[in-house]
Amino acid sequence: MKKAFPLLALLTAALLGYALYQALVVAPREQTMGDVQRIFYYHVPSAWTAFLLFFINFLASVQFLVRPNEKLDRIAGWVAIAVGAICCVADFAIRDLPSGMHHGSIATTGLAVTALYFAIRKLFSEPGVDILALVTAEVGVVFCTVVLVTGPLWARPVWGIWWTWDIRLTSTLVLWLIYVSYLLLRRFSTSGETPVLAAALAVFGALDVPLVYFSIWFFRTQHPQPVIGGGGAIDPRMLRVLMINWLAFLCFAFLVCWSRYRLERVQRDVEETQALEALLEPRSAVQ
């Protein structure tokens, strides 16, 4: 896997460069907003990537909390299976879906949640899921920061204001603050219960993600309606560029998470070795 890292880094750099070219040159100019609309190709993929990372953080945190208890671990697994099954049934049972949702989307989401849960369960040990939760929170906060920076830069020339306490904007800021608090807790708390408390905070923080995502469907907001789905329309060329940029951001996020995960594992191994040596030194001195 270490040999694949440089290759993945080169491919990601090439993809990011290609995505930049697509966003600034190939994508058509929006008639109403003009070139400022090109922030869209960074604002939206950053938000989607942050949501995905926060969701992985949620699943990893849940597993960190339940794995020490075999019964809870088994129950959590069945709940993950039930989520996928319920979503599939609901997709076929509900005839009139909310605007912006299509048949198949609910089932696909539910099955993806189940698959991701068990993939994490299989690939990561108990200490591994704790590291995964920390890493995805760190990278997720970076992408959420990009969202909060590019949003006002886009809003100023379009709305005439930098910020408004809109439900979408406010809930996104709250989401960012929750995960910044999570990282501060992980960084500065020295209690042995810190990972457990942080995992509980992450589970709580994940509840804000659906609110951010669905807020523009169920509330009147300054933020525009979604252009993908029933809330609006998007030029196919713009959609293609948007997906290319999202793929580039996903690859970059994976690359950073992978690097940060390896670094955190090494750091924890070093700390464990130092702690063990510190315990053995007094005995050696006595002998």
pTM equals: 0.88
- 163 to 150, 151, 153: CA distances (angstroms): 11, 8, 9
Euclidean distance between CA atoms 160 and 177, whole angstroms:
26
Q: Is the pLDDT of residue 263 over 80?
A: yes
* Residue 118: Cβ-neighbour burial (10 angstroms; 0-12, 13-18, 19+): middle
Give me the pLDDT at residue 1, please. Answer: 62
What does pLDDT average to over the chain? 84
Evaluate the CA torsion angle 191, 195, 197, 201 in order and state its sign.
positive
* Residue 47: Cβ-neighbour burial (10 angstroms; 0-12, 13-18, 19+): buried
Euclidean distance between CA atoms 4 and 73, whole angstroms:
33
Residues sharing a CB contact under 8 Å with residue 117, sequence separation 6 or more, in sequence order: 59, 63, 77, 80
Nearest Cα to 58, choosing from 186, 244, 199, 258? 199
Give me the pLDDT at residue 217, please. Answer: 61
List, for residues 123-178, the tens digit of each pLDDT value.
998 889 999 999 999 999 999 999 999 988 887 887 788 877 777 888 889 989 99
Structure-block tokens of residue 87: 């979503």
In this prediction, residue 42 has a pLDDT band, given cuts at 50, 70 and 90, of very high
> What type of residue sits at position 176?
W
Nearest Cα to 248, choosing from 55, 28, 14, 40? 14
* Residue 62: Cβ-neighbour burial (10 angstroms; 0-12, 13-18, 19+): buried
Q: For 23, which DSSP code?
A: I
**Residues forming beta bridges with residue 34, ordered by sequence position:** 30
In the block, tokens 């694949």 appear at 4
Give me the pLDDT at residue 164, please. Answer: 78
Average of per-residue pLDDT across 182-196: 85
Average of per-residue pLDDT across 9-34: 90
Give me the pLDDT at residue 283, please. Answer: 57
List, for residues 231-248, the tens digit of each pLDDT value.
456 778 888 999 999 999
Give me the pLDDT at residue 193, please. Answer: 83
CB contact at 8 A, 198 and 186? yes
List, for residues 59-91, the tens digit of each pLDDT value.
999 999 999 899 999 999 999 999 889 888 877
Tell me which long-range contacts 158-163 makes (C-beta under 8 A, separation of at least 24): 158/33, 158/36, 159/222
Euclidean distance between CA atoms 216 and 225, whole angstroms:
6
CA 85 distance to own-chain centroid: 24
Euclidean distance between CA atoms 240 and 160, whole angstroms:
29
In the block, tokens 């008639």 appear at 31
In the block, tokens 């951010």 appear at 212
Higher per-residue pLDDT: 40 or 209? 40
Average of per-residue pLDDT across 257-271: 90
